[in-house]
Amino acid sequence: MSELCLGILLSGRGSTMDAVARAIVRGELAATVKVVISNNPAANGLELARLHGLPVHVVDRKDGRTRMERHREILDVLQRAGTELVVCAGFNEVLTSEVTSAFRDRIINTHPSLLPAFGGGMHATQDALEYGAKVTGCTVHFVTDDLDNGPILAQRTVEVLEEDTEESLAARVLVEEHKALPAAIQLIATGRVIIDGRRVQIAPAPVPASR
């Protein structure tokens, strides 16, 4: 089986990128990371990527260019790397329509809530606590021009405990993100994902041929 070629976008610590890279090393994910791109030259995720031996590229968010100009460079790097699936792993910008159009149905993102609940912002865990939610979690979804509203590929739940703080709840949600993202990528890599409008259908796993 051929490996799915990934381009990973990140802005911070890179823990979800690390989870993907480790899943590949363990043989749980039929993919290869062609490039890791960050809009933050100081992102810890860049050093993690280098430790994994992955190619890195920086498109600094503060370099004075417009978002369109910078994202055109991101698109060019992704395409030159032979990217088949773009993975937003803690990327703190909304991608331009030029990028989403070029990779239509081939960009996924993780969000720390059970979408459509608490979407559209950067404080989903805090929002869940303030709302009094009893259950939250994480979502892996396809990226469209409609922020956090693309078709949902996978979700994992986390119970909200009475004693939870934003930090404690976010830590448990992150653990589930680290599981959900590699598993979701593997579904795509094995050709089991069918997008039908807003719904994502998962085809059954092929039955191994009997000897």
Catalytic site positions? 111
Q: What angle in degrees, to the nearest 10, is found between the helix axes of 166-189 and 15-25?
A: 40
Helix/strand/coil for 152: strand
Residue whose token pair is 């021009």: 145
Coil vs helix vs strand at 33: strand
- Going by C-beta distance under 8 Å and a sequence separation of 6 or more, which residues neighbour residue 139? 110, 111, 113, 114, 115, 152, 154, 155
Q: Where do we find the tokens 């331009």? A: 96
* Residue 196, SS3 per DSSP: strand
